[in-house]
A and B are shown apart, each in its own frame.
Chain A
């Protein structure tokens, strides 16, 4: 079974620009979560989607948004990039049962650098 894929793997942007990251979950997984990983803040939850609906959102500004398509693929968008947005953005999919969080399968991440 193919793993979680994320594109692009690396991205360099300048302040003020916007960026869209893509995530394809493992086949059959309908839950997709996004995390931001930085050396100072660790792994921070951004949001989770299930069946095209946002289930939860972390404590990030409105510049961070996402969506999920009918095939469970997900995208996240960051508008008006700031230097502090430089991070590794990880996507994880899981077989959500609606009761509790199951094993999260992470993708390789997108390394975003904002100059």
Chain B
């Protein structure tokens, strides 16, 4: 079964509100990746974090890797309609890239 869980499963926000998705692994990860999948599309790589406690920013997106390297988060500031989609985290477990359950973000204009 899934060893990388994400919460929440769904999130509906008003345009302009902030959004956060959390990713938790059952085991320590050497690195964590984040992907975005637009409705009807395929996953697209956003970023990779490697170091314990690492924080990276991409414009309105902030990614964090936990100190224990078992959890991560993605925070979007002031959401826009272009942020709609499902966000997945992924990490190597037993040498297999294991994807989280995903968080589907919908924006209310």
Contact partners of A105 in chain B: CB under 8 A: 45
Stretch of B52-60, B64-72, B89-97 that contacts chain A: B89-97
CB of B84 to closest CB in A, whole Å = 17
Interface residues of B in 82-102 (CB under 8 A from A): 88, 90, 92, 94-102
Contact B96 A104 (CB under 8 A): no
Contact partners of B48 in chain A: CB under 8 A: 102-103
**Tally of A interface residues using CB under 8 Å:** 22
Binding site for A on B (CB under 8 A): 2, 30-31, 33, 35, 41-45, 48, 88, 90, 92, 94-102
**How far is B90's CA from A105's CA once the two chains are assembled, in angstroms?**
13
Q: A43-B102, A56-B96 are in contact. List 6 more A-B contacts (CB 8 A).
A: A42-B88, A42-B102, A101-B33, A103-B48, A104-B33, A106-B44
CB of B6 to closest CB in A, whole Å = 9
CB of B9 to closest CB in A, whole Å = 10
Contact partners of B92 in chain A: CB under 8 A: 100-101
Contact partners of B43 in chain A: CB under 8 A: 43, 90, 92, 104, 106
Contact partners of A100 in chain B: CB under 8 A: 30-31, 92
Nearest A residue to B88, CB-CB: A43
Contact partners of B33 in chain A: CB under 8 A: 101, 103-104
Binding site for B on A (CB under 8 A): 33, 35, 42-45, 48, 55-56, 58, 90, 92, 100-109
Contact partners of B97 in chain A: CB under 8 A: 33, 45, 48, 101, 104
**How far is B30's CA from A101's CA once the two chains are assembled, in angstroms?**
10
Contact B44 A56 (CB under 8 A): no
Contact partners of B41 in chain A: CB under 8 A: 108
Contact B101 A56 (CB under 8 A): no
**How far is B96's CA from A55's CA once the two chains are assembled, in angstroms?**
9
